[in-house]
Structure 1
Amino acid sequence: MPRKFLRKFSPDPAKLKQHKHLQFLGDTLHLPYLWHLNRNNVAKAFAIGLFCMWLPIPFQSILAAILAVFFRANLPLTVVLVFITNPITMPPMLYAAYELGAMIIGHPSTGFNFEPSLEWLKNGLILIWKPFFLGLTVMAVISSLLGYYGVHLLWRLHLLQHLKERRARKLRPKKPVTDSDTPPQH
């Protein structure tokens, strides 16, 4: 069941509340909906986490955590999903978002030569900001919707499979008890 799988990797809320850096949150970490692993909470967590992973801002996980509390989603899963983007995956994802935005706008896609400097951020980003942010927005919304509805679909399919197996076990003919199957009584 997905719940058992997800619960294996979920942190203990009691331990998190005792963590010295998280004590300022008070009882917020004890809100039960932040830790529930039901279809709705997990689907919302996927939607929020996959949306926030496309935001090219520092501390995406903090924004994702705030949104998880606001929308009553599973907190640990929301934050973990943001880390799909990391220093290795972020550049190709951002470039793909730019290319998508350029294709939608009809902007000539000549690519761009990124240089990690303040000078490039001031001058280079001005040239590509419209297709870049359009592509980011489209990718964030599509990822979020696919995550939300994908979880609902996969959860339902898993549940239907479980019910099918349960019905098959109930309909299976039971083996008749014979004298050889019963242990001798003393």
Structure 2
Amino acid sequence: MPKKTLKRLMPDPGTIKNHKYLSRLGSRLHDTNLWHLNRHSAAGAFAVGLFCAWLPIPFQMVVSALGAMLFRVNLPLSVVLVWFTNPLTMPPMFYFAYRLGSFLLGKPHHYEHFEVSLSWLAGAMSTAGPPFLLGCLVLGLVSAATGFMTIHGLWRWSISRQWKHRRRSR
């Protein structure tokens, strides 16, 4: 994995530690594991960030940051990976999650007309909520596991390639 590229793209830890709102976390934010970039912290950050990207809640970045602090993985990387979901990617992702959840529960798809009201939202969540949430959970777990294994494998492959290159240049 290109460690230099990841380090260049990440924000400065001092800026984040001195941030007006994040400084309230105190000494927890000074844990060196949250800022260190190695195979384990990057792979763990991918798992946390990709799982949180599938959470159908607002403030996914906060949940991702708390997850990074809990699992002591790279905090900036886990927060940035939540941006995988954005206003353009959310509708197809969440529709796919709903379809997967419907398939897993063996329920038919409900195609209702859309209406902007709380009564419509409550009714839609009573029928579409369980399949949607199950789909989000399954896709979050699969994304987290796939991201973890992929980054872990790419990092190992990159290191072994560097070792082979060093041996050849001797």
Q: TM-score range by the shorter chain?
A: over 0.9
Q: Work out whether residues 69 and 75 of structure 1, in 8 Å CA contact, stay in contact via their aligned partners in 2.
A: yes
Query: Measured at CA, do residues 56 and 114 of structure 1 come closer, stay the same or move farther in structure 2, by a change above 3 Å?
Result: farther
* Matching residue of 1:106: 106
- Tell me, in whole angstroms, the C-alpha distance in 1 between the residues paired with 2:31 and 2:7: 17
Distance in 2 between the 1:112 and 1:137 partners?
23
1:116 Cα deviation after fit: 4.3
Q: Any gaps of 5 or more consecutive residues in structure 2?
A: none
Q: Is the 8 A contact 2:60 2:82 kept in 1?
A: yes
Report the equivalent of 1:2: 2
Residue matched to 2:13: 13
The answer (yes or no) to whether the contact 2:52–2:60 under 8 Å persists in 1 is yes
Label 1:120 to 1:20 Cα distance change in 2 as closer, same or farther (>3 A).
same
Alignment CA distance shift 1:20-1:142 (3 Å): same
Q: Which residue of structure 1 aligns with residue 50 of structure 2?
A: 50
Q: 1:73 to 1:158 in 2, by over 3 A?
A: same
Rg larger in structure = 1
Q: CA deviation at 1:95?
A: 0.2
Matches within 5 A, 1:5-84: 5-84=5-84
1:95 aligns with 2:81: no
User: Structure 1 vs Structure 2: percent identity of aligned residues?
Assistant: 49
What is the total number of aligned residue pairs between the two structures? 170
List alignment gaps of at least 5 residues for structure 1.
Answer: 171-186
* Counterpart contact for 1:49–1:81, Cα < 8 Å: yes
After TM superposition, the score normalised by the length of structure 2 is: 0.93
Structure showing greater relative contact order (alpha-carbon pairs closer than 8 Å, 6 or more residues apart): 2
Give the superposition deviation at 1:24. 1.4
Three-state SS of the structure 2 residue aligned to 1:107 is coil
Q: What is the CA deviation profile of residues 113-145 of structure 1, one whole-angstrom value per residue up to 9, with x for unaligned ones?
A: 444432222111111122111111110000000
Name the aligned partner's letter for residue 63 of structure 2: L
The answer on whether the counterparts of 2:110 and 2:128 sit within 8 Å (CA) in structure 1 is no
Root mean square deviation of aligned Cα: 1.5
